[in-house]
């Protein structure tokens, strides 16, 4: 197996301390938002044999295994990350596989450059993702029931929100959510900014269930996404708990450190809380307008000590081992590629000692045994 050297992305929303604290390094004062582990060409991990994407390209069958190549093609189908949110990420949704293919082909046919700021589809793949909390972790996930959203907005006592409250109560669920999100995102920007300012002041005064939205507004004053965010469920994960984000489910991460895994795609449709492009018509085509329970996941333990986060897709499979002192070694040898990430203690992966934040790539079929005292996450595929 190969020890990985990984790139940390300095996005503005990143925490300045969470990743350095995990790694045991001094903060630089700059945001450190995501550490990428994988073969994404934007920031591939490096191995002693070279960049991981080039290692895989040189012999996909040997590195990924024939079953994974046959099912997903000659590329690692997932990207593993440490994600450290110090401020809210953009409110967003991801397309399903068919929508991604159609959107990508349409923009290619129009000649929209991949790097264009108004480009929606960077590739033809979907982007389901899973976030597992390492610390207490706040996020938004899926729509509230319309009546719950109406009560939340009504409780602010802001007159300009009353039309949205009325819409939420006047229509069946799908139509109510669609009409209100459309109205919020297409409202006059100046009028909406005043509404957000008034709603923020009320949220700060009332506190309680409104605190997360007051915090969002602190980072994005006047942004329509603040009101859109109030249509969504607020979720606070405890360490070890996770959320799965499927296609069309609006979501945003607000604060905390977690392990994130996703299909290898950059396709994002934004709803707000961002200075980036918001394509409202395309967004409304992708969003699933249905109230959902966020569905907090807790790992399912197997007799061999593996704790699996069960998800309905095959591009990734995330599990963890919490290794006690003096415990037996675990044989993780598999016919699929793996990335192992230590998040606590000291773990031995084969001949490598992994400290928190350190990781290794295990080619398909390579012997992989973990031992020690600590926590190690295992990322692979279902093939």
Instruction: Quote the radius of gyration of the chain (alpha carbons, Å).
Output: 22
Question: Does 378 participate in catalysis according to the annotation?
Answer: no
Task: Show the beta-strand stretches assigned E in 148-194.
Answer: none
Query: Which residues, 6 or more positions from 224, have their beta carbon under 8 angstroms from its beta carbon?
Result: 184, 185, 187, 189, 192, 196, 272
Query: Which residues, 6 or more positions from 93, have their beta carbon under 8 angstroms from its beta carbon?
Result: 247, 248, 249, 250, 251, 268, 269, 271, 283, 286, 287
- Token pair of 293, please? 């329970």
Query: Which residues, 6 or more positions from 110, have their beta carbon under 8 angstroms from its beta carbon?
Result: none
Map residue 167 onto helix, strand or coil. helix
Beta strands 307-309 and 269-272, pairing class = unpaired
From the list 270, 317, 348, 378, the catalytic residue is 270
Residue 3: CB atoms within 10 A of its CB come to 18
In Å, the largest CA–CA distance within the chain is 65
Number of H helices, E strands in the chain: 12, 21
Distance from C-alpha of 171 to C-alpha of 182, rounded to nearest angstrom: 14
Contact (CB, 8 A) for 132 and 242: yes
**Surface-to-core class of residue 117, CB atoms within 10 Å of its CB (0-12 exposed, 13-18 middle, 19+ buried):** exposed
Contact (CB, 8 A) for 244 and 261: no
Contact (CB, 8 A) for 141 and 235: yes
Just list the catalytic residues: 270
């Amino acid at each position: 197996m190969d020890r990985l050297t990984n790139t940390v992305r300095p996005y503005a929303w990143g925490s300045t301390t969470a990743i350095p604290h995990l790694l045991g390094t001094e903060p630089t004062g700059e945001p450190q938002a995501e550490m990428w582990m994988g073969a994404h060409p934007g920031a591939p991990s490096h191995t002693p044999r070279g960049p991981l994407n080039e290692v895989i390209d040189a012999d996909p069958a040997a590195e990924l295994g024939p079953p994974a190549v046959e099912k997903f093609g000659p590329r690692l189908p997932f990207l593993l990350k440490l994600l450290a949110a110090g401020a809210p990420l953009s409110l967003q949704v991801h397309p399903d596989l068919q929508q991604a293919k159609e959107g990508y082909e349409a923009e290619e046919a129009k000649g929209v450059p991949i790097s264009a700021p108004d480009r929606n589809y960077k590739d033809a793949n979907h982007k389901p993702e899973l976030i597992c909390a390492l610390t207490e972790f706040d996020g938004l996930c899926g729509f509230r029931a319309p009546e719950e959203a109406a009560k939340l907005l009504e409780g602010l006592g802001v007159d300009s929100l009353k039309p949205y409250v009325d819409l939420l109560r006047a229509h069946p669920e799908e139509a109510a959510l669609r009409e209100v999100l459309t109205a919020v995102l297409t409202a006059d920007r100046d009028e909406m900014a005043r509404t957000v300012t008034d709603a923020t002041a009320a949220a700060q005064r009332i506190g309680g269930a409104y605190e997360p939205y007051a915090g969002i507004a602190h980072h994005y004053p006047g942004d329509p996404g603040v009101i859109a965010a109030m249509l969504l469920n607020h979720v606070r994960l405890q360490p070890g708990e996770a959320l799965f984000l499927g296609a069309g489910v609006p979501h945003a991460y607000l604060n905390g450190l977690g392990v994130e895994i996703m299909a290898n795609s950059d396709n994002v449709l934004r709803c707000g809380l961002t200075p980036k492009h918001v394509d409202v018509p395309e967004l409304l085509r992708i969003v699933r307008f249905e109230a959902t329970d966020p569905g907090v996941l807790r790992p399912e333990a197997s007799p061999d000590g593996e704790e699996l986060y069960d998800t309905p897709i095959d591009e990734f499979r995330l599990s963890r081992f919490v290794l006690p002192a003096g415990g037996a070694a675990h044989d993780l040898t598999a016919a699929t590629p793996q990335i192992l990430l230590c998040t606590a203690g000291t773990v031995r992966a084969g001949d490598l000692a992994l400290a928190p934040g350190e990781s290794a790539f295990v080619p398909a079929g390579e012997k992989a045994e973990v031992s020690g005292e600590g926590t190690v996450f295992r990322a692979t595929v279902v093939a």
